[in-house]
Structure 1
Amino acid sequence: MTAHTPATGAPIELPANQPQQFYRGGASIAALRGAPERDYGPEDWVASTTTRFGQAEAGLSRLPDGRLLRDAVQADPRGWLGEEHVAAFGDSTALLVKLLDAGQRLPVHCHPSDRFAQQHLGSRFGKTEAWIVIGTSGANPVVYCGFRQDADPAAVQRWVATQDSSALLGSLNEIPVRAGDTVHVPAGTPHAIGPGVFLVELQQPTDFSVTLEWSGFLADAEQAFLGLDRETALRTLNHRGFGDDLLTSLIKRTGDDPAARVPLLSEQADEFFHAERLRAESRNGGIELDPSFSVLVVLDGTGTLRTEHGAVPLRPGGTLVVPHGAGAATVEGDLTAVRCRPPRIG
């Protein structure tokens, strides 16, 4: 048996990866990256091994050498992901990270659970997600999450059938947000994102969406239900009302926390992914990072990510994929970054 050959382990800065979307946005992504603005570039899929629904390659990230990240990980899963991760998830990264800049309100939609995805979509993963607000614009930046009170399934069916946008949106909790706020969005939760909200979004590694409010957003209803009949697709929806206690458990307000490292997400997110904000200051030395497959998004400032494989410069808007094989690392300099990681093992 040949010995295992690990990945090089060096962190890699990735170029933008903005598959075509149906909604407007992208100015904040362009500003963060210092790049020309693109029409209909509201999502940047970072270190993605996930394709857009029904497509062969759209959505996949490429490494600077031209290889698909998906292929590189599959060729050396232990080097990229680590032994414990591979034992739990095989060669899947179990994570999709996006930059999302909503130039218009997104439609009301929801995502399937793992169980639904296994039964109806042939996937191990559904699509639980979480939002980390990194910027806002406009007079009233808001997101929408969960029904305000228990919803009658027959009424929801009627709203969807007649495309009653006012009823759909009006039934949801409207949540004002600012930079530093985070929202965990369990599978099945009806939700939408308002215009002017700029996020780092963590998701399970699928592109499954059931679009309840498709009129004015998608070309036709056939694109709204993942190739399923409407009645089956709507079984993904959680009709339970999200009261104050539940919302409090899903939302964190971290913008005023000055700590060098701040856990960003609700504890309910741990089985799906986790994230922390890093605030490095050169006068305080570096921030040490344990070995892990991770995605690093630099929000501001400059510095260095130092590993046993060398040093990688960090700049505003930089997005990096860090293999588990990079080993322990240190973030140095004066900067703010978000570190995103797959589910905790054990």
Structure 2
Amino acid sequence: MEYKNKLIRFGQNRVWRSYSGGKVLDQINNESVPVDSHFPEDWIASVTKAVNPGRETISEGQSTAIIGDYSLDFAELLALNPEYFLGKEHFSRFGPNPMVLIKFLDSSIRLHFQAHPTREFAQNHLDSNSGKAEAYYILQVREEIDDPYIYLGFQTPPTKETLKEIIVKQDINRLKTCFEKIKVSPGECYFIPGGMPHAIGEGILMIEIMEPSDWAVRFEFERAGYTLPEEARYMKRDLDFCLDVFDYSEKSVEAVATQNKKTPRLLTTYVDGSVKESLIDDKTTDRYRVCRTKVINSITKSETDFYVGVIAAGSCTIKLDEEILVLDKYDKFFCPAGIENITIETDDSVEIIECYPPLTN
């Protein structure tokens, strides 16, 4: 199998979750009868195993890479030549791990209220090198949803003791008084640091970018008739342990708009007027980076790092040596660090979300 100077493609990699969704993902994948189910996520370029209590015997989460007519486990592919795929400096620092996890997330209901640990908490208390700082890029909203929203941070923070009481009693109405809805629209990007309590509203398709872990404190137990087993609530610890995960600071709606909603920053302007913008940079987090390239006609693109690309809008043709790859909306690919440049051509414009690893310098 020849893998050099080729982009890596990915098929479906649906993962079981405790909430329902996935109908839009079914439509994207041309299923004959699209339905919402407990497979609302598609993990992209993943070497991370999903944590689903009760399904430990089922291997979920790790992606299959496609190169021409060949397919193999993505982690196995990276292990063939990690310096080529990931870059020498990245490999020497992190080993054969991309250190970033990307997902399609398609919600039919509001997700459980939850929070994720910071990397520091994970290192100190969970024997893990990764917490779970997240970013959302909103792709589309279901037609029947008039007011799409997310919850981010406590707008009216409880004390630790009050939050414990709310969780023990599962007083969700009282819990909701700690939050205000944050309205969202397609094309927006949000950053959710570790510790920030949050929930994604119903009817949203997004790209979710995060540290490569599946740590979650789910402090709302029942959604749409499904009740989380105890081992799925507190990272297999107890409530008192997990109460230290939360950021109890006040986060006004205005603060979310200025601090967590990310304004695109221009990085590059190409000859034809195409642009590359930064959405999540090293000033926001040192865990990963997210950019958006908008191509009007044709560009030659050169990057020093590997990245995972998702076609957010439009379609394009990518040329690389003798290879010609046609990509449509919501297709995804991996561009190895060892590729010097690619040519992207489009008839009607294309937007590509690019997910990069942590900086190594």
**Residue 163 of structure 2 aligns to a residue in which SS?**
helix
Does the CA-based 8 Å contact 1:309-1:326 persist in structure 2? no
User: Does the CA-based 8 Å contact 1:147-1:239 persist in structure 2?
Assistant: yes
**Does 2:135 align with 1:134?**
no
Question: What is the aligned partner in structure 2 of residue 46 from structure 1?
Answer: 44
TM-score by length of 1: 0.90
Work out the CA distance in 2 between the residues paired with 1:259 and 1:8: 27
Corresponding residue of 1:91 = 96
Q: 1:306 to 1:169 in 2, by over 3 A?
A: farther
CA distance in 2: counterparts of 1:87 and 1:134, whole angstroms: 35
C-alpha deviation, 1:41, in angstroms: 2.5
- Secondary structure of the 2:78 match is helix
Q: How many residues align structurally?
A: 336
Answer yes or no: is 1:189 the counterpart of 2:196: yes
Q: Percent identity?
A: 24
Structure 2 counterpart of 1:52, which letter? A
Whether the 8 Å contact between 2:160 and 2:243 is mirrored in structure 1 is: no
Question: What residue is the counterpart of 2:23 in the other structure?
Answer: 27
CA contact (8 A) 2:282 2:288 kept: no
Distance 1:149 1:343 in 2: 33
Question: Residue type of the partner of 1:249?
Answer: Q
Which of 44, 47, 59 is matched with 1:57 structurally? 59
Amino acid at match of 2:65: L
In structure 2, what residue type is equivalent to 1:311? I
* Deviations 1:29-67 (CA, angstroms, capped at 9, x unpaired): 233444453533311101111011264731000123342
CA distance in 1, matches of 2:322, 2:89: 22
The secondary structure found in structure 1 opposite 2:137 is strand
CA contact (8 A) 1:7 1:325 kept: no
Please report the TM-score for the alignment, with normalisation by the length of structure 2.
0.86
Structure 2 gap ranges (5+): 265-272
Secondary structure in structure 2 of the residue aligned to 1:325: coil
**Residue identity in the other structure for 2:355:** C
Distance 1:134 1:344, change over 3 A: same
SS of aligned partner of 1:324? coil
The residue type equivalent to 1:264 in the other structure is: L
For residue 289 of structure 1, report the CA deviation from its aligned partner.
3.5
Structure 1 stretches of 5 or more lacking a match?
Answer: 1-5
RMSD, aligned CA: 2.2
Partner of 2:255: 245
Residues 259/169 of structure 1: CA separation in 2 closer, same or farther (3 Å cut): farther
Alignment of 1:1-346 (within 5 A): 8-36=4-32, 37-38=34-35, 39-53=37-51, 55=56, 57-64=59-66, 65-137=70-142, 138-216=145-223, 217-243=226-252, 244-245=254-255, 247-252=257-262, 260-265=275-280, 268-282=283-297, 285-286=298-299, 288-308=301-321, 310-333=323-346, 334-346=349-361
Greater relative CO, 1 or 2 (CA 8 Å, sep 6+) = 1
